[in-house]
Amino acid sequence: SQQGEEDPQALSIQEGENATMNCSYKTSINNLQWYRQNSGRGLVHLILIRSNEREKHSGRLRVTLDTSKKSSSLLITASRAADTASYFCATEGGSEKLVFGKGTKLTVNP
Amino acid sequence: SAVISQKPSRDICQRGTSLTIQCQVDSQVTMMFWYRQQPGQSLTLIATANQGSEATYESGFVIDKFPISRPNLTFSTLTVSNLSPEDSSIYLCSVDRVYGYTFGSGTRLTVV
């Protein structure tokens, strides 16, 4: 069963704007990861944030984690048309299994 | 990070037949994971494949429908048996890396 719930389900923005996607989960975790999927292909790992971290940056990506609220957000700054994809959060607990959220479909219009 | 070669990338199969998907990893890994992604949906874990032992299946998935082989530490296959249109999905393999998982490029299966 899925653990994460992302919102929004779909997001459409203009190039240069920031995109924020949110993820909520239900059980305790070791880490939370964000992935990107282009047109139903394989997933690409973007960033991992551990349960004892609150914020992490990687290039134009910023991830926050609030374990008290069991939620995370992914911010993509200065978006580009090439950022158009589906974004998934996934949580990893003690079993080394990833549990995925439902995903946000991001469209960046040129 | 690991490189995974997944084959085939897509296939169209007749109902009642089977499709075997292969994943080759460029380094030895203990566990390999198989996922299903139904149209417009997220990923659901089918099973975890360990070398030298039977795969561990998640609730709702059974070995008769999704037999898995794991003959060595770099290779695994997933067979989707007795195909029906409901099996039309993307199937992905994955391995764990310290800083995240690496996924194969996926197999898009269409059952007609």
What's the average model confidence in pLDDT over B71-89?
A: 96
CA dist., res. A44 & res. B112, Å (int) = 30
The predicted-structure confidence for A33-83, as pLDDT tens digits, reads as follows: 999 999 878 899 999 999 999 999 999 999 999 999 999 999 999 999 999
Higher-scoring residue by pLDDT: B6, B40: B6
Kindly indicate the confidence band of residue B96, based on its pLDDT and cuts at 50, 70 and 90.
confident
CA distances from B43 to A11, A18, A46, A56, A100 (A): 20, 26, 16, 24, 6
Is any Cβ of chain B less than 8 angstroms from the Cβ of A30? no
Instruction: Verify cis geometry, omega within 30 degrees of 0, for the bond prior to B39.
Output: no
Mapped onto helix, strand or coil, the DSSP state of residue B85 is helix
pLDDT given at position B55:
94
- Name the token pair of A72: 């995370």
Is any Cβ of chain B less than 8 angstroms from the Cβ of A101? yes
The predicted-structure confidence for B29-52, as pLDDT tens digits, reads as follows: 989 999 999 998 999 999 999 888
With beta carbons less than 8 A apart as the criterion, state whether A104 and A8 touch. Answer: yes
What's the average model confidence in pLDDT over A9-38?
A: 95
**Closest Cβ–Cβ partner in B33, B42, B102 for A103:** B42
E strands, chain B, in order: 4-7, 10-13, 19-25, 31-37, 43-50, 56-57, 68-72, 75-80, 89-97, 100-103, 107-111
Kindly indicate the confidence band of residue A6, based on its pLDDT and cuts at 50, 70 and 90.
confident
Is any Cβ of chain B less than 8 angstroms from the Cβ of A40? yes
